[in-house]
């Protein structure tokens, strides 16, 4: 990776300057005040798809509600998903819950203390496993994420595509050979440097503690590195949402166990077919034998990582006089745990993703 003549000095600068800088310059984050593996685990999972500044209030709330692995185990999946609401990528919460149960059943409630055992748990991949093992247990393993790939590619003036798994493997293997004793501070230093100094655009090289060894700084190529394949284009999908209202209560369904927003609650939604096809009406007619004409009550747009939903939202009023009822509400042709009616005051009881909760404001038009 590097010219062997330079390598000793370059590695020393990285091994010595980086942990020292991290100790002095690190942001004062709540999960950095502890070596508790549970807290580090929660913070690392939250940080996977969420900016640090955004996740801090969620982190405080989550740790307050579930202060240890036992409290997480005792909670229902719905409660955990509810506590995750707003962070998105809900499979993370589901995996946390499953992993907590495994830690209690297979490890007597103690977080596994090695990388090898950690990555056996759902939702813990090599990066998260490396972060927990090195920060909480000082195990000499690295934690390579996008930030680290960028920093090391620049540090080594490497034009290898960081989207390529082979590049990640090469960088991981190189880092494994140079990890210092203070491995937690070294790994966190790399992450912090990537977040605060060696940023994707306009890296602050003049403030950088490893600048003297940085080969792209010396070569003047920092703006060209890292090389990254073009991101997969987001697909835009036209969707139709049906808000079914009866006696002031709204109809919700549970989404399938796999795929986007899996297992969460939502309004019925379907991909629009041809213009004016009213695909949502056809879908709802599978559940309700008597359905009035839909009223277009608004539109909304929601951006996920790979897909954008452009939603037309239709309101349906159910008429009790023409419906079979059950406990005051019409019986939907769905298993009872897969659908429910909730009044507006009860909606908070459901894990309702933002894509749908933001549609509630359209009810004024209905």
CA distance to 29, 49, 68, 94, 100, per residue, from 122 (Å)? 25, 16, 17, 9, 9
- Among 197, 249, 297, 330, the residue binding ligand SF4 under the rule CB under 6 A is 197
Give catalytic residue positions: 44
Stretch that binds ligand SF4, among 100-108, 208-216, 238-246, 310-318 (CB under 6 A): 208-216
Residue 307 pairs with which residues in a beta bridge? 235
Stretch that binds ligand SF4, among 11-19, 24-32, 179-187, 206-214 (CB under 6 A): 206-214
Binding of residue 216 to ligand SF4 (CB under 6 A): yes
- Among 217, 267, 309, 314, the residue binding ligand SF4 under the rule CB under 6 A is 217
Cα separation, 356 vs 269, in Å, equals: 10
Taking Cα atoms as reference points, which of 79, 15, 21, 88 lies closest to residue 54? 88
Binding of residue 205 to ligand SF4 (CB under 6 A): yes
Cα separation, 50 vs 90, in Å, equals: 12
Rank residues 29 and 195 by Cβ distance to ligand SF4 and give the closer one. Answer: 195
Binding of residue 203 to ligand SF4 (CB under 6 A): yes
Cα separation, 164 vs 148, in Å, equals: 14
Q: Least distance from C-beta 212 to ligand SF4, angstroms?
A: 9
Q: Are 14 and 198 in contact (CB under 8 A)?
A: no
Q: How many angstroms separate the first and last alpha carbons of the chain?
A: 63
Stretch that binds ligand SF4, among 31-39, 115-123, 197-205, 286-294 (CB under 6 A): 197-205
Rank residues 23 and 35 by Cβ distance to ligand SF4 and give the closer one. Answer: 23
Binding of residue 147 to ligand SF4 (CB under 6 A): no
Cα separation, 268 vs 250, in Å, equals: 11
Site residues for ligand SF4 per CB under 6 A: 151, 154-155, 197-198, 203, 205, 208, 210-211, 214, 216-217, 222
């Amino acid at each position: 990776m590097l010219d062997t003549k330079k390598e000793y000095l370059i590695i020393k600068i990285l091994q010595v300057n980086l942990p020292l800088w991290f100790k002095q310059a690190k942001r004062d984050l709540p999960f950095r005040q502890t070596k508790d593996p549970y807290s580090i685990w929660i913070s690392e999972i939250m940080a996977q798809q969420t900016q640090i500044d955004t996740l801090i209030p969620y982190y405080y709330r989550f740790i307050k509600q579930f202060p240890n692995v036992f409290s997480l185990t005792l909670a229902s999946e719905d409660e955990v998903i509810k506590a995750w609401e707003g962070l998105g990528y809900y499979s993370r919460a589901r995996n946390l819950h499953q992993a907590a149960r495994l830690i209690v059943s297979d490890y007597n409630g103690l977080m596994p203390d090695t990388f090898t055992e950690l990555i056996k748990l759902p939702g813990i991949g090599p990066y998260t496993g490396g972060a927990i093992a090195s920060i909480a247990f000082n195990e000499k393993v690295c934690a390579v994420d996008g930030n680290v790939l960028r920093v090391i590619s620049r540090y080594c003036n490497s034009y290898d595509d960081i989207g390529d798994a082979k590049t990640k493997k090469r960088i991981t293997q190189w880092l494994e050979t140079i990890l210092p004793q203070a491995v937690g501070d070294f790994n966190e230093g790399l992450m912090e440097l990537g977040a605060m100094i060696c940023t994707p655009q306009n890296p602050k090289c003049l403030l950088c503690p490893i600048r003297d060894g940085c080969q792209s700084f010396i070569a003047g190529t920092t703006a060209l590195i890292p090389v990254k394949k073009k991101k997969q284009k987001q697909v835009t999908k036209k969707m139709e949402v049906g808000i079914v209202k009866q006696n002031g209560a709204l109809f919700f369904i549970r989404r399938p166990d796999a795929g986007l927003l899996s297992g969460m609650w939502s309004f019925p939604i379907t991909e629009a077919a041809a213009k004016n096809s009213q695909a949502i009406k056809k879908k709802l007619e599978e559940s309700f034998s008597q359905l009035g004409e839909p009223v277009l009550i608004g539109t909304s747009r929601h951006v996920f990582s790979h897909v954008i939903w452009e939603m037309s939202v239709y309101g349906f009023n159910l008429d009790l006089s023409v419906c079979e009822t059950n406990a005051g509400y019409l019986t939907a042709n769905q298993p009872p745990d897969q659908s429910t009616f909730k009044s507006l005051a009860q909606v908070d009881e459901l894990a309702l993703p933002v894509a749908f909760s933001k549609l509630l404001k359209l009810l004024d038009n209905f």
